[in-house]
């Protein structure tokens, strides 16, 4: 499968720069995260973005594209097959997902 890594790089930057903090549902339990949690997290994330590169999964045929790395802690991969992001970690150049999927903000859960 071919995928335009330059276009993905731009897409990630736009998603980070234009992310809208979700509204707190009145049916939700607990207190909402303050907007600063998102803005501070994305400010830090901008420094952790990498030029996208392909990686294979540790435990299967999944092929993803790494878009952000917090060395020694976490990595954010884009899954082109599902058009979403996966939070996980890199080990020996291979990606292991943590079953956290969603939009670009899932990286903030690291």
| pTM, two decimal places | 0.90
Spell out the domain ranges in the chain. 5-20+33-109
Angle between helices 35-48 and 5-17 (to 10 degrees): 150
Which three-class secondary structure state does DSSP give residue 78?
strand
Name the phi and psi angles at 39, rounded to 5: -65, -40
Local structure of 77: helix, strand or coil:
strand
Query: Which whole number is the average pLDDT over 53-63?
Result: 89
Span between the terminal Cα atoms of the chain, in Å? 29
Q: Is the pLDDT of residue 107 over 80?
A: yes
Could you count the other beta carbons within 10 Å of the beta carbon of residue 88? Answer: 24
pLDDT at 60 over 90: no
pLDDT band at 105 (very low <50, low <70, confident <90, very high): very high
- Report the C-alpha gap between 89 and 73 in whole angstroms: 7
């Amino acid at each position: 499968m071919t995928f335009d890594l330059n276009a993905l790089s731009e897409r990630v930057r736009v998603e980070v720069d234009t992310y809208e903090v979700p509204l707190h549902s009145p049916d939700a339990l607990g207190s909402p995260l303050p907007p600063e949690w998102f803005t501070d997290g994305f400010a830090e994330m901008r420094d952790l973005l990498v030029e996208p590169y392909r990686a294979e999964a540790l435990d299967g045929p999944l092929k993803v594209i790494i878009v952000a790395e917090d060395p020694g802690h976490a990595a954010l991969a884009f899954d082109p097959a599902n058009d979403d992001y996966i939070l996980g970690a890199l080990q020996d150049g291979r990606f292991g997902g943590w079953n956290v999927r969603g939009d670009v903000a899932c990286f903030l859960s690291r």
